[in-house]
Amino acid sequence: EAARQAEDAGADALVVGSPYYLPVSAADQQRHIEAALGATGLPVVLYNIPQCTHTPLAFSTVQALASESRVLGIKDSWGDLPYFQRLLTLKHARPDFRVLQGSEHAASASMLLGADGLIPGLANVAPNVMVDLVQAARRGDVATCKGLHLDVVRLADVYASSGIAGLYRACAMLGLASGIPAEPWQPVGDQDTADIKRVLHQYGLLPAGARG
């Protein structure tokens, strides 16, 4: 039903992951995603984020679905590099199957291993750093990738203690959002705000007189 609503609303594609709340088998995952494919004519991007669904998309599930032309690729936010490397092997049989990394901490290694791109939350705060990392990896500049990886790790401190609310606050400091996350999350407190501002200043992302 949600897939049909998205199509009716004008969506260009669906992003579909594993069912959440209760653990599911690889076969159940495949049936779930095939149901979404059957409900509309839209293409699908798979999404692996077991931190939220509690069940990783099984490699066998992804492998089976990659044979379907309407499955364009996968965004993997798990951060498990051995799993990600297995995903990259799917490109041998289907070069146009896109494998995207969603974890900042695995971004540099993933790009050097052959990822098609990145979709990290941190790109909302420091898009220039992520773009530089992608470009360095594509030209094979390992030294620059290693340096940018350290920048990414330090910039991730914007939500190290406050989670998604910290990312909202950082975006607000950059004029991109109100800084108020959806319920039940609460805006970050004064100490976290000060810590986030310090990180952003350190990387030249805020003018000296910026307010929190």
Strand pairing category for 98-101 and 44-48:
unpaired
Confidence of residue 161 (pLDDT cuts 50, 70, 90): confident
Q: Quickly list H helices, the chain.
A: 2-8, 26-39, 50-53, 59-65, 81-93, 107-113, 127-138, 142-155, 164-173, 190-202
pLDDT over 70 at 187, yes or no: yes
Closest CA relative to residue 42, chosen from 16, 78, 79: 16
Under CATH, which number does the domain 1-101 receive?
3.20.20.70
Confidence of residue 51 (pLDDT cuts 50, 70, 90): very high
Closest CA relative to residue 116, chosen from 96, 136, 92: 96
Structure tokens, 43: 């293409």
Confidence of residue 167 (pLDDT cuts 50, 70, 90): very high
- State residue 212's pLDDT score: 57
Residue 138's φ and ψ, nearest 5 degrees, are: -70, -25
Helix (H, G, I), strand (E, B) or coil at 2: helix
What is the spatial distance between Cα 134 and Cα 129, in angstroms, rounded to a whole number?
9
Amino acid letter, 124:
N
Structure tokens, 148: 């940018």
Catalytic site positions: 47, 75
- Cβ contacts of residue 98 below 8 Å, gap of 6+? 45, 72, 73, 74, 116, 117
Q: What is the mean pLDDT of residues 165-190?
A: 93
- Cβ contacts of residue 79 below 8 Å, gap of 6+? 103, 105, 106
- Cβ contacts of residue 22 below 8 Å, gap of 6+? 54
Confidence of residue 32 (pLDDT cuts 50, 70, 90): very high
What residue spans define the domains of the chain? 1-101
- State residue 207's pLDDT score: 65
Q: How many residues does the chain have?
A: 212
Q: To the nearest whole number, what is the mean pLDDT of the chain?
A: 95
Q: Are 212 and 173 in contact (CB under 8 A)?
A: yes
Q: What is the mean pLDDT of residues 8-12?
A: 98
Structure tokens, 91: 């490109």
